[in-house]
Structure 1
């Protein structure tokens, strides 16, 4: 099937300077070696321990994806970047409006999402959770495995933390002003974007400021199957940050980010859904406002490295049904306050302990609206509030005095208390939990690491689960003959459950890794880290749907048909299952002046502990991802390819849900001169899914996007 994917007008706007850039003699493309190519860079994680440490040294699995790698993806959504992270995927399908991540098979409320330290608590059945443009993101960290010992409720599968770009990321020493202009295009959904960034700082470094704005518009998505998935998006993203440093010990900062996505797609935009009966076409308005105020106090003392952060986030999705006056809305506001401190005690040569401790308060408040109901309430979206308070303590003990090698022990524990209530409900949900963890790693030599960890996590019942109310669905009463105006309809109603208890997980993990520098050539680095994990998840919350048998057949021996609890026509969230989940994950990377190779492997198994059946919506095939490339002209030119290989997926209870394995390859070229007349320009060219493969990732019958030509051009300069 031939395709004409490139609109000349838009492509010309993006690539106007390309011929000049490509025609530049390669001898003009000379630069200093990049930090990555030098082999001296080390990925640092903050999220894994709330204390910056090398990601390789963490006694567990944490992935850190930095800005350079994000840019090489030239992503349309942050979902694309998650190819670089094993055990983490998105369960939504090709549309961005349904982006919903999972970690080690656990999704929804079981994954915590932070944006610049602010919790993103919005949860919806179909509207997604990721409301951030990839152009704003400086770093993505994904901690896999239960993380409640540091972060409390919700970290059953793990934690995703994004940090947006700051002025200090853009301004080099001696520069006081920075400006960047960017544009891009991709063919698979006819997406066009433009953006601008500006940053400034005082000559003495006492203050800096950053502003960012980007706009995207996209249309329907061409799938590998040859079909076209209807979609229509307009996204505007903005970011403003200011930082003050009145002294060497004090840093004050404030930020505000806004994401606004207007789209036209089905009420359920996930999978391969198209609009039709039961899935109305809607104008969707998805929005995210996140603001933060923070203080870091770090005097010349081992006892104090203190952070105080207050934040506010508001996420919402409004749906205006096309052709009707109906408007439905869901909005979640979160206010949070976090205080933590780090204290270090040295007690020998190379031996020390770092204590990380603090407390947190946050409040989630949800409001729902449906203009089709008499009182304006929305079924399944109660007006409700949940408050959390927690305190945590962690010790990072490193022993290198008097023993061969280096031993690290990281115990931690957190206490949480929560209370949920809803308008019009007579009951509340309240409970408290203790979440312990223990991690141990040992380096017999600096290049070799063996590690293990054990942890417990929990997830409090959400207000949607505890206080679900309103209409779930409407069905015809088939036990009676249709009247002159058609069949009689009855309604299945949501009902709350005051007996819900938190989901809990307990898991362990063991693994090893190697980290070599100057292995083959000067400045190269080889890193490999792999582990096996096993976890038991108990009290999983699921929806129990009951429909009276009398709705299908008239009989005095079955319950009669009717609406609501009086007839047993209800849907209620209950603690319904226990699960056993295990898997293998590995990450590897080799970098040198002229060559790089990075990738990952993951596989997962899981069964319902009671029935032995496979866990639907949790399992995925074994996946190998490799990103490799060559550097030319001291790193100014990079030519790379990404290959994803997945095994056939047959761990299903329904044979119709089995999926074939697949092999998908991308190609990309980056030209980024570091000096000369083209200094400051960056050109990205690429083709995703080169072979136009028809493959399925989310579920059977849901094809992924087909061949996608991509181009981006930016110019940046510091003064």
Structure 2
């Protein structure tokens, strides 16, 4: 794919021009006078999920983004999808409605992306209902690991991992405080959404017990699009969090939490894109509910380098019930996941210049799905089989860091790992069954000749087991009119396209090579400023991609063809849908992520490019590719006034890597502006006011698919007050 290589060369030359002045400034930055407050050392952003051995995200031999609370708040988000502009190579393909939130990482989506909420797997996957059932007001950090991570997490991590962590007492209570209260309210104009939330935290005087509670309510209506049209939508959301921790000693912590999300909405059966209700896409009253209950312990005895243990037990339950507005029909999809994960770190000193950390553990989880349709003969829902999948896995990872031998400068880190998984997917009664095992290796290498510079390379294999929907789907997929038969008194007759199970599906597998480099520089333009930048190129071969093969008899569309391919229902007429292994894909991409922060200003951003083709046919990969996209977020800090002024810019090139010209999308540039006022002292200390305008120019642009316009100009405001006692 030479076009990507040419673009990478241009970016490399541009990057050299951009970074060279900064390296020169580093020599004399210490001469600039600053206050003591400005001279504080910037803190590293820590990644937990990239290796399960917490380390600075910069040092990871791969690409991981950690979006912390301060950056989440700057987006003033309505859904968690809003903040993913800050993550290169990751986006949501849902369209303007929140009810279809569906994340994509490096072109892979659905079961190819793992989602964790406080360490609990979220396994709900649906064709149209979305996957993310959590309010952004609950979230403290979002971590996105890009690229295969099956060596730690097993099936599903072909594209990567999204791990959201909810707020805890340690995030809210400063030293010496035992009580915390926060109240917030907000509004945005594009869908007339109003929000109210409250958070409370308490810690015992001896620090042994802490509690956190949170409640958020949102209500919104129709969405004003950049095209000038209004997209019918209406939803009402109530989210809550209860969290507790108990520390009987300095070495042991017991924890538990309950997270609930409930959303009632009126929208089409398929809420994604710019779909509106009508024939074949009925208006439904949708009731989405999610509940995650988890608990566990952390045990880290001081002085014992062999034990640093985490144990998590959880139960996640997600369901979407749809009640058609004009027909007496109700459908339901319910997925329950129960699981247990255990991981430990053992650390060894290998002399004065080397160290080794072994991270190892095991995991068991079970996904169980049930579907219902009040209009079917047997009460079962087509395409939503009652089925169960069980996974058992064990993993081992080494992290060896050592000084380079002899005269070579710097240090080297080697991170090899492997995981074994056994999975079984079955229907009740054992009519169909898939029983397989898989090994997933990975190895990463980092070399830092100096502490400010790193280069890395990684090889990883990933896999995704066929889901129960893909393997065992049966029942009606859709109904179509039989145009070969004369219409009756009430219009044309209809025939059904039926799902056909395929228990012979093979897992999707991938082999990915990735290499890159990064810089981490301080004191460039003033003391205590910091520039970090990290870029990488990756190439993946993905085999046995699972896709839906839909066959419809030609006679259904033409009376002239009915004699050769008669129209009818089901396999006898070839009117079927079946999931099959259909493609071998080649995907390559480039990602750049950078951040500059100083006492007086900041600039962060990213660039993502991806290309891919079917290795057999040479066609572009539909649903995988995206336009080259640049994101920038910068602003000025006026410390004397406790004020920040910022702007965000998203620019995408024309998207023409499509097999059908009708799917081409124009390039676009969208700008946002925002202001944050947060008094640091006086009677208004604890108040925060966020004001902003998204899509300032009311641009009509398309991100998901051609014809799917995004929201137009959006005025946003949030007022909050917090206080610790």
TM-score using structure 2 length: 0.93
The 1-side partners of 2:711 and 2:565 are apart by 47
Determine the structure 1 residue equivalent to 2:342.
339
Residues 264 and 283, structure 1, Cα contact 8 Å, conserved in 2: yes
Greater displacement, 399-408 / 255-264:
399-408
Q: 1:315 aligns with which of 287, 294, 318?
A: 318
- 1:675 is displaced (CA, Å) by 1.3
Specify the alignment match of 2:70 in structure 1.
Answer: 68
Distance 2:562 2:202 in 1: 78
Alignment correspondent of 1:488: 493
Q: Cα distance, 1:656 vs. partner? A: 1.1
Q: Deviations over 1:65-102 (max 9, x none)?
A: 00000001100011110000000011110100001000
CA separation in 1, counterparts of 2:132 and 2:458? 29
Aligned partner of 1:128 in structure 2 is 130
- How far has the Cα of 1:484 moved from its partner? 4.2
Q: Is the contact made by 1:348 and 1:401 (CA closer than 8 Å) also made in structure 2?
A: no
Partner residue, 1:19? none
> Any idea what SS the aligned residue of 2:606 has?
strand
| Superposed displacement of residue 269, structure 1 | 0.4
Choose from 569, 583, 604 the match for 1:598.
604
Shift of 1:563: 1.6
What's the counterpart of residue 390 of structure 2? 387
Give me the whole-angstrom Cα distance separating, in 1, the residues matched to 2:641 and 2:98.
33
What is the alpha-carbon distance in structure 2 between the residues aligned to residue 297 and residue 676 of structure 1? 42
Partner of 2:479: 474
> Residue 555 and residue 142 in structure 1: after superposition, are their counterparts in 2 closer, same or farther (change >3 A)?
closer
Partners of 2:281 and 2:384 lie apart in 1 by 18
Structure 2 matches for 1:399-418, cutoff 5 A?
399-400=402-403, 402=405, 403-418=408-423
| Aligned with residue 639 of structure 2, among 633, 637, 642 | 633
* Structure 1 unaligned spans of 5+: 1-30
Match of 2:572 among 560, 566, 575: 566
Deviation at 1:371, TM superposition (A): 0.4
Partner of 1:501: 506
2:470 to 465, 471, 477: 465
Question: What are the residue-to-residue correspondences of 1:133-172 with 2, within 5 Å?
Answer: 133-172=135-174
Given candidates 303, 306, 317, the residue that maps to 1:303 is 306
- Cα pair 2:392 2:423 within 8 Å, conserved: yes
Which residue number corresponds to residue 14 of structure 1? none
Q: Evaluate the alpha carbon distance shift between residue 691 and residue 45 of structure 1 in structure 2; reply closer, same or farther with a 3 A threshold.
A: same
Instruction: Report the equivalent of 2:691.
Output: 685
- The reply on whether 1:648 has 2:650 as its aligned counterpart is no
Greater mean deviation of Cα atoms: 627-636 or 257-266: 627-636
Structure 2 match to 1:15: none
Q: Which residue of 2 aligns with 1:274?
A: 276
Deviations 1:190-249 (A, max 9, x none): 000000000000112111000000100001010111110110010100000000000011
Shift of 1:590: 0.6
Whole-Å Cα distance in 2 between the matches of residues 484 and 616 of structure 1? Answer: 41
**Post-superposition offset of 1:559:** 3.9
What RMSD in Å do the two structures reach over aligned CA positions?
1.4
How many angstroms apart in 2 are the aligned matches of 1:235 and 1:55?
34
SS at match of 1:68: helix
- Quick check: 1:513–1:527 contact (8 Å CA) kept in 2? yes
Whether 1:704 and 2:710 are equivalent positions in the alignment is yes
- For residues 634 and 199 of structure 1, what CA distance do their matches in structure 2 show? 30
In structure 2, the CA distance between the partners of 1:447 and 1:489, relative to structure 1 (3 Å rule), is same
Task: Note closer, same or farther for the CA distance 1:236–1:491 as it changes in structure 2 (3 Å cut).
Answer: same
Aligned length: 687
Q: Is the 8 A contact 1:594 1:635 kept in 2?
A: no
The answer for the alignment partner of 2:232 in structure 1 is 230
Q: Distance in 1 between matches of 2:81 and 2:576?
A: 36
Separation (CA, whole Å) in 1 of partners of 2:204 and 2:395? 38
Residue 517 of structure 2 aligns to a residue whose secondary structure is strand
Distance in 2 (CA, whole Å) between partners of 1:77 and 1:308 is 30
Cα distance in structure 2, aligned partners of 1:653 and 1:87 = 22
Runs of 4+ in 1 over 6 A off after TM superposition: none
Match of 2:24 in 1: none
- In the TM superposition, residue 423 of structure 1 has moved relative to its aligned partner by 3.0
Quote how far apart the aligned CAs of 1:424 are: 5.7
Contact 1:593 1:635 in 2 (8 A): no
Query: Relative to structure 1, is the Cα distance of residues 47 and 484 closer, same or farther in structure 2, using a 3 angstrom cutoff?
Result: same
Q: Secondary structure at the match of 1:246?
A: coil
Partner of 1:534: 539
**Structure 2 residue matching 1:534: 3-state secondary structure:** strand
- Structure 2 equivalent of residue 353 of structure 1: 356
> Does the Cα contact within 8 Å between 1:38 and 1:593 map onto a contact in 2?
no
Does structure 2 retain, via aligned residues, the 8 Å contact 1:39–1:591? no
Alignment partners' CA distance in 2, 1:33 and 1:287: 46
Q: 1:33 Cα shift?
A: 4.8
Distance in 2, matches of 1:550 and 1:592, equals: 68
Gaps spanning 5+ residues in structure 2: where? 1-34
Aligned-pair CA distance for 1:521? 1.1
Is 1:293 the counterpart of 2:299? The answer is no
CA gap 1:205/1:67 in 2 versus in 1, 3 angstroms: same
Give the corresponding residue for 2:366.
363
1:50 maps onto 2:52 in alignment: yes
**Counterpart pick for 1:609 among 615, 619, 634:** 615
Question: 2: distance between equivalents of 1:198 and 1:122?
Answer: 30
Do the aligned residues in 2 keep the contact of 1:412 with 1:438 (CA within 8 Å)?
A: yes
Q: What SS does structure 2 have at the residue aligned with 1:109?
A: helix
Residues 595 and 39 (structure 1 numbering): CA distance in 2 closer, same or farther, change over 3 Å?
farther
Match of 1:326 in 2: 329
Structure 2 counterpart SS, 1:504: strand
The equivalent residue for 1:667 is 673
1:240–1:255 Cα contact (<8 Å) kept: yes
Secondary structure of the 1:126 match is coil
